């Protein structure tokens, strides 16, 4: 959080708002944390290419931030920044999902690429190169590179959607802290942790660097010493495995 207010002032602002539920105080808190929304919106926009308007993402992210301020319970033992991040991301992902942000043609090309890659791996026991995919599909290598980039734009959002569908956010921060819900939450987190731990080392590294360290694919490719396209492939495979693991829960 970037603010010119000192910590004591912020604490008092929160205390006053929770006691009075005054809209003006709420709005002051929202303004304090608005930078968080812009940061998350920029990240989502970079993933989706030119298919969504960042101003729309910011608008829906602000809705999530307002809800976070109104519903935040410090007694849960979670920082507001953590809680707000999940709320804001949730609103943005819901908006993108409702508006089917991936054009039909892009989705169709992505599916064709993934199908061809799976067939190649089944036949040879290894991942295809872009050149091998271009030969298999009868298209230019440059078209394959673009299509793979589009595939990754779809898959980069997938993991966030999986977590949301699995209601990790709701169970962690919103639901009543009943013994049943606490057990369900613990089980779900354990399933996810085990699934990540079981990933091959390079796939696990990509997931860790992208989702937890919040590095870009380009930064990850530099760290790992491989192409950005290769990082994209590793990410896609990892997400599929995690989705499969959580779908069994």
The structural domains of the chain, with segments of one domain joined by +, span 1-101, 102-175, 177-248
**Would you say residue 77 has pLDDT above 60?**
yes
Give the span between the Cα atoms of 194 and 186, in whole angstroms. 12
**What CATH number does the domain located at 177-248 have?**
1.20.140.160
Q: What percent of the chain has pLDDT over 90?
A: 26
Same CATH topology for 1-101 and 177-248: the answer is no
d(CA 242, CA 249): 11
What's 1-101's CATH class? mainly alpha
pLDDT value for 240: 82
Class level of CATH domain 102-175: mainly alpha
Residue 2 pLDDT > 60, yes or no? no
Cβ within 8 Å of residue 23, ≥6 positions away:
none
Question: What pLDDT score does 110 carry?
Answer: 75
Residue 170: band (very low, low, confident or very high) from pLDDT cuts 50, 70, 90: very low
pTM, 2 dp: 0.59
CB burial of 217-247 (b: ≥16 within 10 Å; e: otherwise) equals: beebbeeeeeebbbbbbbbbbbbebbbebbe
Residue 223: pLDDT band (50, 70, 90) is very high
Look at residue 202 and tell me whether its pLDDT is greater than 90. Answer: yes
Average pLDDT of the residues of the chain: 79
């Amino acid at each position: 959080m970037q603010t010119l207010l000192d910590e004591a002032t912020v604490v008092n602002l929160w205390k006053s708002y929770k006691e009075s539920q005054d809209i003006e105080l709420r709005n002051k808190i929202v303004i304090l944390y608005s930078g968080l929304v812009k940061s998350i919106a920029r990240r989502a926009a970079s993933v989706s290419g030119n298919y969504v308007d960042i101003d729309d993402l910011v608008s829906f992210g602000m809705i999530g931030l307002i809800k976070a301020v109104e519903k935040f319970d410090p007694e849960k033992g979670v920082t507001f920044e953590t809680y707000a991040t999940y709320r804001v991301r949730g609103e943005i992902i819901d908006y993108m999902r409702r508006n089917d942000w991936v054009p039909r043609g892009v989705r169709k090309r992505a599916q064709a690429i993934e199908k061809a890659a799976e067939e190649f791996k089944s036949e040879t026991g290894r991942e295809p190169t872009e050149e091998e995919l271009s030969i298999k599909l009868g298209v230019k290598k440059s078209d394959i590179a673009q299509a793979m980039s589009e595939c990754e734009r779809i898959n980069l959002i997938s993991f966030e959607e999986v977590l949301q569908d699995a209601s990790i956010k709701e169970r962690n921060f919103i639901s009543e802290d009943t013994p049943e819900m606490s057990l369900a939450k613990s089980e779900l987190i354990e399933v996810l942790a085990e699934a990540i731990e079981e990933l091959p080392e390079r796939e696990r590294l990509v997931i860790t660097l992208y989702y937890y360290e919040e590095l870009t694919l380009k930064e990850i490719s530099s760290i790992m010493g491989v192409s950005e396209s290769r990082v994209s492939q590793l990410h896609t495979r990892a997400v599929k495995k995690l989705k499969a693991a959580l779908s069994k829960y």
